[in-house]
Chain A
Amino acid sequence: MSKENPTALERFIWGIIPENPIFRQVLGTCPALAVSTDIKAALTMTCATAFVLICANTIISLIRHLLKPHLRIVVFVLTIASFVTIVDYLLAAFYYSMSLQLGPYVPLIIVNCIIICRCEVCASKQSVGVAISDAIGQSLGFGLALVSMASFREILGSGTWCGFRIMPDSWPNWVLMLLPPGAFFVFGFLIGAVNWFTSLKKNKSS
């Protein structure tokens, strides 16, 4: 997967599973571990990150010819921080309860390495179209990872999925799953599962 200039479609598909930001690149694990306690938080986080990622990739791709190599990180961070602030304001204005629940994790999108990585790897080298499809693909991959982790944690930890009760009432809620150790357990198992799956596929094809 080290082709010089991948096409928009390749970028899009790679983002979802083959180069999934959480399970394959193991980037942006801070939000993945912290806000995967329930589906709603995970989805909100995904939307916020997707907005920042798409906007930042677009802007960086537009100005990629003007970037100076030694000042590029400053420009990336400046762009990302501005969009994160916008998202923070939007959430506080239109979804206040979620804004309170996510707390510092929305401003922390600034240091989410998925975004700076995509700016560096794709947007600063390729055209706007490719950069946008890359951003959408990576966001979907990020969302997929967050939602799958949140599903496990919410179902095992509180017996609900997206707020609806699905486990029998006698289910003893595994509170551990909602606490940090639960996040690491689920994270480890899912990375393992994805890797196992990929190696199965590889063995078959070879």
Chain B
Amino acid sequence: MKKEHPLFLCIKNSYLGQSWLVILLSIFFGFTLSGVQAFLQEKIDTNKSNQSMRIVPTLVPGAVTGKSVTVGDLTVYEALNQNNKRAGWVIPARGQGFADKIEILIGLTPDASSLSGLSVLNQKETPGLGSRITESSWLSQFIGKGTTDSLTPTKNPVPSKNEIRAITGATISSFSICQIVNENVKKFRAELRKQQADP
């Protein structure tokens, strides 16, 4: 057997000598993926906003179409009725769920005093447990809830005014949705108030 030079062996057994291929591939794939993202992100965002536009009328009663507007530094959808008058608001919101970021749309009444609908756009929660946050039977309990107080999830079968019945086995996902709604509605109400006070 050929004896290898000690220096060569030293390099071969070093951290870099073992893992250089993994490192090079990571860099290569990293650049490829950022290229793909830079190239496609715009189109994906358009798809998403088209999708949101289609959902807008289902979140605000009486709305037939939506229009993207800026309130303060937030970009939201203004839901319009047949006469092109404001029927409500739809806020796109996102936040951390149990597994990954959850993206939702929050429907609000014109004065933003209560919720008029909720829809989950994107989630990667545990299938069968956390993924039940997309079910309309669960989401419908948000409709009509006031926005002055924060919503909290509860295990109580008969939830009180500002409580949301949590999904069995998915306490964190339920909590996340409440949290996302609370935070974003509060932010939006603050911006809306600012705009109305100083048009």
Query: Which A residues are within 8 Å of any B CB, using their own CB?
Result: 63, 66-68, 71, 74-75, 78-79, 82, 85-86, 89-90, 92-94, 96, 100, 103-104, 107
Question: Which chain B residues lie closer than 8 Å to A85 at the CB level?
Answer: 33, 36
Contact A86 B18 (CB under 8 A): no
Contacts of B47 in A (CB 8 A): 92-93, 96
| Chain B residues in the interface with A (C-beta under 8 A) | 18-19, 21-22, 25-26, 29, 32-33, 36-37, 40, 43-44, 47-48, 50-51, 124, 127
| Distance to closest chain B CB from A89 (angstroms) | 5
B124 / chain A contacts, CB cutoff of 8 Å:
103-104, 107
The total of Cβ contacts below 8 Å across the A-B interface reads: 52
Q: What's the dominant secondary structure at chain B's contact region?
A: helix
- List chain A residues, Cβ under 8 A from B50: 96
Given contacts A82-B32, A82-B33, contact A89 B22 (CB under 8 A): no
* A128 CA / B63 CA spacing, docked (Å): 57
Chain A residues, CB < 8 A from B22: 71, 74-75, 78
Known A67-B21, A93-B43, A107-B124; contact A82-B29, beta-carbon cutoff 8 A: yes
Q: Which one of A78, A89, A90, A107 contacts B29 once the chains associate, using CB atoms below 8 Å?
A: A78
**Is A79's CB under 8 angstroms from B25's CB?**
yes
Q: Known contacts A93-B44, A93-B47; is A66 also within 8 Å of B29 by CB?
A: no
Residues of B within 8 A of A90 (CB): 36, 40
List 29 A-B pairs, Cβ < 8 Å. A66-B21, A67-B21, A68-B18, A71-B19, A71-B21, A71-B22, A74-B22, A78-B22, A78-B25, A78-B26, A78-B29, A79-B29, A85-B33, A85-B36, A86-B32, A86-B36, A89-B37, A90-B36, A92-B40, A92-B47, A93-B43, A93-B44, A93-B47, A96-B44, A96-B47, A96-B50, A100-B51, A104-B127, A107-B124
